[in-house]
Amino acid sequence: MKKILLTLLILLSINIKAQLKEMRAVWVTNVDSPVLLSDESISAAMDYLASININVIFPVVWNKGYTLFPSEVMESIFSKPIWPTVTGRDPLKQIILEAHRNGIEVIPWFEFGFSPSYSLNGGHILAAFPSWAGKNNQGQLLVKNGFDWMAGTNPEVQNFMISLITELLDNYDVDGVQGDDRLPAMPVEGGYDSVTVAIYKSEHNGAAPPQNYEDTNWKKWRADKLTEFFARMKDSVKSKGDHLIMSVAPSPYPWGFDNYLQDSKTWLQQHIPENMIPQLYRDNLSSYQFELLNALNYVPADEKDIFFAGVLGKAGSYVITPKLLLDQVGLNRQKGVKGESIFFYEALRVNDNQLGDTLAATFYADDALLPYRGNNDFRPKAEIVNEEDSGASFIGNWELRPVMGYKPNVYWTNDTNYAEFRWDFDVPAEAWYDVYTFLVPNTIFTANANYTIFSMNDSINVVISQKNSQNKRWVKIGTAYITTGNKTVVK
């Protein structure tokens, strides 16, 4: 059954009364999970996450040298516009729509960061740009734990990553960008590629970097280069909108510094991240407590509200027990940590949703605002009006037909006389709104469905084909400025 969806645009959020402030986040992967493989599974996943009061998702958008959104940058440079498994689709677009419909923020996760491939010698990226390769002190390709690495200290590599990030921000209505244990990062064994060596020499009167990659000053120099890049990466994000959050989920400090040159202590001191989630992945409470307390030692007092915990829910055959999950979340709250992100979505759904439902019955029983959004419900849930709701009315001869629609059938008319549906909404705030309609395309439907959106002082007419197979599920009709009150929004 067709519905009309009204979503509040990001540039205006709703200030509401004092409410619990916690981040409840989850990573969404393209590995060991079918979620991104269909629009229907994405919709079902976002509905479930909303039902257990998750308020942020981190969907993967960069994995093994491929984007999970159609990328002109990747197409123009490598002729690889998207992860081949989802060719012809745009999982990110669908994730954003379904998450925002449910009032969930979307912060895309550039998972592989400066790693172009896993055990493929750099794959198509280093085949095209061998000078981008990270090198160890023997002049070999930089590889650690199976991951092949670019030189994160190479300005061309840095600019490439920023070009992917800004391309995404130019084309999608997201709520931020996330780096992780590979962005910004580089294995401590690296830094011996010709570009990095040349930069080092230019800053050290022609002296070459030490052969000992553990040399204290050499480690700091490389880590500082990554920190400088991170600041530039944040500037690139914020230039697209101050509301966009710079998130990062690094390896815990100092391990991340010693092994991957991630100086997250300095990042916090320089106020670069706005959302910091160290990966405190431990399978017992005592180890988790050690990592949590250690991480908190490096958080400045004025950055406590942006610090959250990364919790391991599932990895391979391992699934955290409900008791350990509750113990870890409980310890977070006991230590003043206002939220966590769980790796990863499928952990919440195994064993008939055991972990997700456990959280919903305990720590996540009430919904929560994000601590770094003030008192603003920055992504309020969309308003939806169905044809059988009180906000809908019609003129003409319409029939309810047994054709699969939203829930579950559709209205149609083949009358040559005038016929229309109107949808009225209780508009909560004067603002710009995106307006969508839910469509199930069929060759027997019209190619010229006429929609009119009513804005404050004007109307917008749009023609949409209900035959076109691309016009599937929620289809955007347009954007309009609408004032507060009960208003006819679309017909």
Average pLDDT by stretches of 10, the chain with 491 residues: 48 55 98 97 98 99 99 99 97 98 98 99 99 99 99 99 99 98 99 99 98 99 99 99 98 99 98 98 98 97 95 98 99 98 98 98 97 89 85 86 73 82 88 88 85 88 89 89 90 90
Long-range pairs of 405-411 with CB within 8 A, sequence gap ≥ 24: 405/1, 405/2, 405/438, 405/440, 406/1, 406/2, 406/3, 406/438, 406/440, 407/1, 408/1, 409/1, 410/1, 410/2, 410/440, 411/1, 411/2, 411/387
The residues, ordered by sequence, that sit 6+ positions from 109 with a Cβ below 8 Å of its Cβ are 27, 58, 59, 60, 61, 62, 178, 180, 249
Residues 196, 197, 199, 202: what is their CA dihedral angle, to the nearest 10 degrees? 180
Domains in the chain, please, with CATH?
A: 19-374 (3.20.20.80), 383-490 (no CATH)
The reported pLDDT for the residue numbered 119 is 98
The reported pLDDT for the residue numbered 4 is 52
